Amino acid sequence: MSATIYYEKDANLADLKDKTLCVLGYGSQGRAHARNLHDSGLKVVVGLRDGSATFKQVEEDGLQALPITEAVAQADLISFLMPDPAQPEVYYRYVDGKMKKGCTLLFAHGFNIHYGQITPPADVDVIMVAPKGPGKIVRDLYEEGQGVPCLVAIHQDVSGAALKTGLAYALGLGGARAGVVETTFLEETETDLFGEQAVLCGGLAALIKAGFETLVEAGYAPEMAYFECCHELKLIIDLIYQGGLKKMRKFVSDTAKWGDVTRGPRVVDEYTKEEMRQILAEIQDGRFASEWVLENQAKRPRYNALLRREDEHPIEEVGERLRGMMSWLK
Ligand code: NAD
Ligand code: MG
């Protein structure tokens, strides 16, 4: 079933007029949200931890920064835009029991709500507005008069106006200029985790490494293996990004296309797909979430060890050397 998509005409900034929007976190998303909403004529305060070095930056950006407690006390809407593992502590320490009556809680990813790491009281609206792009692009496109498409989802709608609030926020961000796709916290969380695990980060990194290792173990130069299995990905991905698999196939040779359609399905086969279904099942039944929450509580021993090992993979050394020759990357 296709999703409902909203556009500029479906959203009204007046739904957030006279409201104070509190942005918590001033990183990738936080800074872009705060600046775009402010430039759209909405009232924004940025809540920061006492003594945070970011106070200066917020003020240089022409916005108001306040200690979290003060920002939360005035807020009609609170955006949680710090890293997901940090959000429960911030919520229970500064927000729970301290927000104004009728305050809306807004998230840019569903993890903490969907897996019960944050359980807001029953009498507040809980919504999601999630741009489908990094903060820098959210800001740059806004300044160009365009926007990054957003997702909108409603977890709790006490006021009866939660969707209007979300659409107004997406309009203030610039996202409604491109389109706002309606989803649920469950769907956004589970598909986001699956995508990054099976395809975008996990699957792709494993594919690159396996290709590189196969060539190097067969005696080919690591430099050649890097070019063929990593460097050239950028050209391919750009074509797919612009025009789908179809456009990519228009630009590669017939030989490449023949190899693609006859060999690709042998690399990613039914076994891989069965593993993908397992990975999805672990997301759906909470096993992945529980593992990650516990890993954070234990101060990330496996996370650190596994990533350290990744850093030591030979592809990183060769890659660094070769990228040093590519002056346009600097
Ligand atoms: P980020 O890592 O850029 O946020 C860092 C900021 O959070 C810091 O600058 C600081 O201001 C604050 N912060 C960090 N630790 C904190 C703590 N313990 N207490 C209080 N504040 C703290 O985060 P991000 O990538 O902008 O992600 C924010 C939210 O947006 C997350 O829910 C994420 O899933 C979601 N999201 C991110 C992207 C993206 O492209 N980065 C896209 C869509 C949604
Ligand atoms: Mg994601």
For residue 77, give the H/E element and its range: strand 77-80
C-alpha distance from residue 125 to each of 97, 122, 163, 165, 227 (Å): 14, 8, 10, 9, 50
What is the model's pTM? Answer: 0.94
Spacing of C-alpha 122 from chain mean position:
27
Does ligand 1 come within 6 angstroms of the Cβ of 185?
no
The rounded Å distance from CA 111 to ligand 2 centre is: 11
Within 10 angstroms of residue 214's Cβ, the number of other Cβ atoms is 12
How much is the pLDDT for 164? Answer: 98
The rounded Å distance from CA 81 to ligand 2 centre is: 14
Q: Nearest residue CA, atom 25 of ligand 1? A: 28
Contact between 106 and 169 (Cβ < 8 Å): yes
Instruction: Give Dmax (Cα) for the chain.
Output: 68
Mean pLDDT of 92-104: 97
Does ligand 1 come within 6 angstroms of the Cβ of 20?
no
pLDDT at 330 over 90: no
Mean pLDDT of 13-33: 97
pLDDT at 159 over 90: yes
Does ligand 1 come within 6 angstroms of the Cβ of 68?
no
The rounded Å distance from CA 14 to ligand 1 centre is: 27
| Angle between helix 301-311 and helix 287-297 axes, rounded to 10 deg | 90
Does ligand 1 come within 6 angstroms of the Cβ of 134?
yes
Does ligand 1 come within 6 angstroms of the Cβ of 108?
yes
Contact between 150 and 181 (Cβ < 8 Å): yes
pLDDT band at 326; cut points 50, 70, 90: very high
How much is the pLDDT for 119? Answer: 98
Q: Which of 82, 107, 183 to mutate to test the pocket of ligand 1 (most atoms within 8 A of CB)?
A: 82
The rounded Å distance from CA 203 to ligand 1 centre is: 24
Contact between 217 and 39 (Cβ < 8 Å): no
pLDDT at 33 over 90: yes
Annotated active-site positions, please? 109
